[in-house]
Amino acid sequence: MSEHTHSEEKHITSYKAYFIVWVVLMVLTFLTVYVSYFDFGQLNIVVAMVVASIKAGAVALFFMHLKFEDPITWLYALFPIGLLFLLIGMTIVDTFTRIFPL
């Protein structure tokens, strides 16, 4: 099983990098709360979700070291998200294309 050892060499992230990510996360949190006080209609949820996804991406990539993981880990990190979109997407397709008689 020596073939695996190379890819599993640990990558150690520096404290400084974590602080930068944390500052970015805090700024984004402040931003999303601030924006929520204005009414942009449907745009609100879009902005909120985009900001949340950037934050989630930062946490996953740096705090969780996904950036340094092998393709298999990437696959299993992304595949459930794809499935989740499928579940949400298709149930929405069903719910909102029903024809109501009367």
Partner 1 sequence: MTWIPEAASNLAGKVDGVILVITLISIFFFVLISAVLIYFAVKYRRRRDDEETPYITGSEPLEIIWTVIPSILLILLFVYGFVVYKEMRTPPKDAVDITVTGKQWLWTFDYYNGKKTLNELYVRQNRPVRMIMRADDVLHSFFIPQFRVKQDILPGRYTQLWFTPTKVGTYDLFCAEYCGTGHSQMLAKVIVLSPEAYDIWEKGIGVDEGANVASLPPAELGAKIYKEKGCNACHSIDGSVVIGPSFKGLYGKTGVFEDGSSYTADENYIMKSILEPQEEIVEGFQPVMPSFKGILSDDEVTAVIAYIKTLK
Partner 2 sequence: MANHTIANNVYVPFLEQKGFLSWFLTTDHKRIGILYLISISLFFLIAGILALLMRFELMTPMSDFVSPHTYNVLFTLHGSLMVFFFIVPGLAASFGNFLIPLMIGAPDVAFPKLNLASYWIYLVGTIITLYALLSPADTGWTFYTPYSATTDTDVVMITFGVFVLGFSSILTGMNFIVTIHKMRAPGMTWHRLPLFIWASYATAVLQLLATPVVGITLLMLIAERSLGVGFFDPAKGGDPVLFQNFFWFYSHPAVYIMIIPAMGVISEIIPVFSRKPIFGYKAIAYSSLGIAFISFLVWAHHMFTSGISEVAATIFSFLTFLVAIPTAIKVFNWIATLYKGSIELHSAMLYALGFVFLFTIGGLTGVFLGALAADIHLHDTYFVVAHMHYVMIGGTVMGFFGALHFWYPKWFGKMFNESVAKLSWFLIFVGFNVTFFPQFFLGIQGMPRRYATYPEEFESLMALSTYGSWILGLGVLIMTVNLIKGLYSTEKAPQNPYGSLSLEWQVPSPPPTLNFEEIPTVTDWTYGYGKKKEVDA
Partner 3 sequence: MEQANMEHAEDHGLHLTPEQEYGISKLGMWLFLGTEIMLFGGLFAAYAIFRAKYPELFLESHQELNREMGAVNTCILIFSSLTMAIGVTAIQRGKQMLAGIMILVTIICGLGFGVVKYFEYGAKFAHHIYPDTNIFFSLYFMMTGLHMLHVFIGLAVLGVIMVLTFKGKFNEKYSTPVEIGGLYWHLVDLVWIYLFPLLYLVG
Site residues (vs partner 2, CB under 8 A): 1-4, 72, 79-80, 83, 86-87, 90-91, 93-99
- When the beta carbons of 15 and 100 are compared against partner 1, the nearer one is 100
Residue length of the chain: 102
Tell me: does residue 31 bind partner 3 (CB under 8 A).
no
Which of 38, 67, 71, 83 forms a contact with partner 3 (CB under 8 A)? 83
> What is the sign of the dihedral through the CA atoms of 38, 41, 46 and 49?
positive
d(CA 65, CA 11): 8
Given the rule CB under 8 A, which residues bind partner 1? 100-102
